[in-house]
Amino acid sequence: MTHTHTYRGVVWIDLENPTDEEVSSLVNRYGLHPLVGEELKMKSSIAKVDFYPEYFLAVLTLPVRERKNVSTQIVEREIDFVVGKNFLITSRTETIEQLEYFGKIFEANSILNKEEKIEHAGYLFYYMVKKIYAGMIEDLENIKDSIITAEKRIFGGDEKEIVEVLSSLSRELIDFKQTARMHRDIWEDMVKYSDQSMFGGEFPSYVRDIRDQFNIIHEFIGNARELITDLRETNDSLLNTRQNDIMKLLTIITLICYPAIIVSAIFTIPAQNIPVLNSPYGWVILMGIILIITGCFWWYFKKKRWM
């Protein structure tokens, strides 16, 4: 499926699940290298940038946070960009929310004739990537909100249940970082290219702005992972303390009851003339002895602050 947008002499062609005929037509129209055409048709899952005399190819793998059933997970999406002086081609196999939204904004700007600086397709590429990165930051903000919620639950007594939550959030951040791992190298190469590219002028500063935006995302991921690590250590500490308290309480209860068990066992020895039991009040006396011994142990443990 092909969507074509035109604004101030700049053409944006958006391909979604392109056919061989659609790609071949663009390759012939803009004189693209056959390998670029092959890249537009397939999903490589490898972020990269290739430079040609009249255009460049940028492949971006994007981490997208999606909800499935009751949990969330990071899925990988890919967008291929071919950027020339007056044209920009995007190719994708799945729906990209930020790109769809950008298309609506682009059409609205064309109608309203706003004064955005789009002298060539390089600026259009800049605005697109900025919008995509804004979506990535939004996903990271949502992950951060989930981490803050998990922190409140940790100190609210849900230590056991929160272990799985922290593991899931940690997996999301790992997948997020893994999917976008090559972006920094791409922008470093783009900075070098933009200084000598056909776009010229102020475009290098726009590329540096994209690079700085990704550095913010990279820093955000690192900070979130550090926070999860600290919360996991805190949660494990609270779990261990709670388990130790339970074991301590059970041990104390066992020790308190142990004398009573011994006394009961002594008076059940099959012997003749057992003291106390032959008395009319033998059972009452035996229970009294057991309660007195148990009470003494209880008092001693309280005095030592063991409970």
Looking at the fold, whether 284 and 160 belong to one and the same domain comes out as no
Terminal Cα-to-Cα distance of the chain (whole angstroms): 72
Contacts made by residues 138-146, CB under 8 angstroms, sequence distance 24+: 139/63, 139/64, 139/65, 139/176, 140/176, 140/217, 140/220, 140/221, 140/224, 142/65, 143/65, 143/169, 143/172, 143/173, 143/176, 143/224, 144/220, 144/224
What's phi and psi for 155, nearest 5 deg? -85, 0
Boundary (domain end) residue, out of 190, 225, 240: 240
Asked if residue 111 belongs to a domain, the reply is yes
Q: Are residues 171 and 275 in the same domain?
A: no
On average, the pLDDT of the chain sits at 79
Q: Tell me which of 27-41, 111-125, 204-218 is least confident.
A: 111-125
Closest CA to 61 of 81, 40, 79: 79
**In a shared domain, residues 62 and 142:** yes
Residue 118 falls inside a structural domain = yes
Same domain, 183 and 298: no
pLDDT given at position 270: 67
- For residue 307, name the pLDDT band (cuts at 50, 70, 90): low
Q: Are residues 271 and 210 in the same domain?
A: no
- CA dist 274 and 268 (Å) reads 9
Pair (7, 135) in one structural domain: yes
- The model's pTM is 0.73
Contact between residue 178 and residue 191 where contact means Cβ atoms under 8 Å apart = no
Q: What is the pLDDT of residues 217-236, one digit of tens each?
A: 888 888 888 888 888 888 77
Domain membership flag for residue 99:
yes
Q: Do both 169 and 273 map to the same domain?
A: no
Number of domains in the chain: 2
Instruction: For residues 183 and 57, give the distance between their C-alpha atoms in angstroms, rounded to a whole number.
Output: 14
Q: Which residue from 132, 155, 307, 304 is spatially nearest to 214, judged by alpha carbons?
A: 132
Same domain, 73 and 207: yes
Asked if residue 134 belongs to a domain, the reply is yes
- Domain presence at residue 251: no
Check which CATH number belongs to the domain holding 217 and give it.
Answer: 3.30.460.20
The C-alpha atoms of residue 102 and residue 99 are separated, in whole angstroms, by 5
Which of 189, 222, 240 represents a domain boundary (last residue)?
Answer: 240
Q: Which domain holds residue 44?
A: 2-240
53 in any annotated domain: yes
pLDDT one-digit tens code per residue, 11-27: 888 888 888 888 888 88
Q: In angstroms, rounded to a whole number, what is the distance separating the alpha carbons of residues 306 and 191?
A: 66
